[in-house]
Amino acid sequence: MSEESGKGWWTAYRQVLPQPVLDLAELEAAADALHSYESLFIPGVLQIADYTRAIFMSSQSERSTSELERAVQFRMERQKILTQERPPTLHAVIHEAALHVRFGGTAVMRKQLLYLIRMAEMPHVTIQVLPFTAEGLSAFSTPFLLIGSHGAALDTVLVETPASSLYVHEREAVDKYTTRFARLSSTALTPLDAKVPASAHDSRDTLSLIQHLLYSLQEI
């Protein structure tokens, strides 16, 4: 990675976006696997543009229209790793709270939920929802992204806070987050699978929950 550093598509955004954001794109480009836990947002690589734009517009940061659009474009570029020739596997656990926060309004949120269903059709994408009813876990623990790379040799954890983005590389810390993600996944609803017939779905699996929310978002 050190030999490749600075040569990716993200370098075009050096004058627009902060370095930690560019570092994330570089790490994702070299990743074999991504394990994401989000409590209040849909993971960035699964967001539609309007949803992303609404998040940026609701933040306190002062951005011009052109800067905001460049940031949206950057996030959309990041998503291309999922459709490249050899994509990393993506396993996302999303807290149910994130599905209720309507960034961009009802129409945008409906499109976003439908997009999650489409993305889950990819064989290398797994999406689960951690319901409000989950027991034994902090409902709003700090979001994190486990980035697996080069056979665990370059495994990294990104921990996002309102103040900063922290990248963790120490093996002991990475192992702790790996265990944490496994626990979140085991507690979450079964993965989203649109190919399974409706009659086979449990009343509280991930697809059924999303379909219930889609019904509630229908415009009257």
Q: What is the pLDDT along the chain (220 residues), one digit of tens a residue?
A: 545 555 799 999 998 899 999 999 999 999 999 999 999 999 999 999 999 999 999 876 677 889 899 999 999 999 999 999 999 999 999 999 999 999 999 999 999 999 999 999 999 999 999 999 887 665 557 899 999 998 777 899 999 876 778 999 999 999 999 999 999 999 999 998 867 655 555 667 899 999 989 988 875 4
pLDDT at 165: 83
**Which amino acid would we find at residue 166?**
L
Q: Are strands 89-95 and 33-38 parallel, antiparallel or unpaired?
A: parallel
Total residue count of the chain as it appears in this document: 220
Rounded to two decimals, what is the model's pTM?
0.90
pLDDT at 2: 46
- Give the up-direction half-sphere exposure of residue 89: CA atoms within 13 A in the CB hemisphere: 8
**Domains of the chain by start residue, with CATH:** 9-216 (3.30.870)
Q: What backbone torsions phi and psi does residue 119 show, to the nearest 5 degrees?
A: -65, -35
**Which amino acid would we find at residue 159?**
V
pLDDT at 198: 53
DSSP per position, 186-207:
HHSPPPP-TTS-GGGS-TTSHH
207 touches 190 (CB < 8 A): no
